Structure 1
Amino acid sequence: MTRQEFLASSGLDVRTLEWWLEQEWLIPEKTASGVRFGDIDIARARFIRELKDDIGANDEGIGVILHLVDQLHGMRQALAELRKGMRGSSD
């Protein structure tokens, strides 16, 4: 989705989106025609809003939380690949 579509779907204003992009809280796909946002970006924007509004996390805390969530996600992917490889080698 385009930047305008993302803004409409996420409910963010332009200033907030620019800040989040600058902080690399959101990292949309870069294409020849510009940036493209996906469903994962919408989910991440909702998560950031929950951290800010419901939990009361400050900007520094959000950066740390997002980094940890990204690491956890990466570890889960690596574990899934390891399991897949182990199943394949036992055949």
Structure 2
Amino acid sequence: MTDQRTEDEVIAIIPGMTRTRLVAFLQAEVILPIRRKTFEGNAPVFGRIDIARMQLLCDLADGLDLDDDALGVVMSLIDQLHMARRDLRVLALAVEAEAPDVRARIGAAFRNSRR
């Protein structure tokens, strides 16, 4: 079983997804699918992350009545938050690998910065 979906499959499995909406998401570049060669040319193929993003986009568009520009801003902020979380996870692993005295100094500096 593959984790890749075609445009028709995406429209069928995501509530609220229409071909018009899918095209708008692609044009706004809030979804960046991979391309697969077909007899007709290059067709977009969507992975699990694309599917999750499109479900979120549909929920935001329908639930909060956000237009395409607002959706782009919200998705940019979500992407930035995910990158910050990833960076913090990497930093935490690096700190954890340090000697206890270094970890203590880093912890103290962190606590002092929050005052």
Q: 1:85 to 1:35 in 2, by over 3 A?
A: farther
Structure 2 gaps, min length 5: 101-115
Q: CA deviation at 1:26?
A: 1.1
Q: Give me the whole-angstrom Cα distance separating, in 2, the residues matched to 1:60 and 1:25.
A: 10
Please state if 1:25 is matched with 2:30.
yes
Q: CA deviation at 1:86?
A: 1.7
Please state if 1:4 is matched with 2:8.
yes
TM-score (norm 1): 0.80
Please state if 1:87 is matched with 2:96.
yes
Residue 69 of structure 1 aligns to a residue whose secondary structure is helix
Structure 1 gaps, min length 5: none
Output the aligned Cα RMSD. 2.2
Q: Give me the whole-angstrom Cα distance separating, in 2, the residues matched to 1:86 and 1:5.
A: 44
Q: CA deviation at 1:20?
A: 0.5
The count of aligned residue pairs is 91
* Equivalent position amino acid for 2:97 in 1: G
Q: Which residue of 1 aligns with 2:68?
A: 59
Q: 2:24–2:68: 8 Å Cα contact kept in structure 1?
A: no
Larger radius of gyration: 2
Structure with the largest fraction of helix? 1
* Equivalent position amino acid for 1:89 in 2: E
> What percent identity do the matched residue pairs reach?
30
* Greater alpha carbon shift after TM alignment, 38-47 vs 71-80: 38-47
Q: CA deviation at 1:43?
A: 1.7
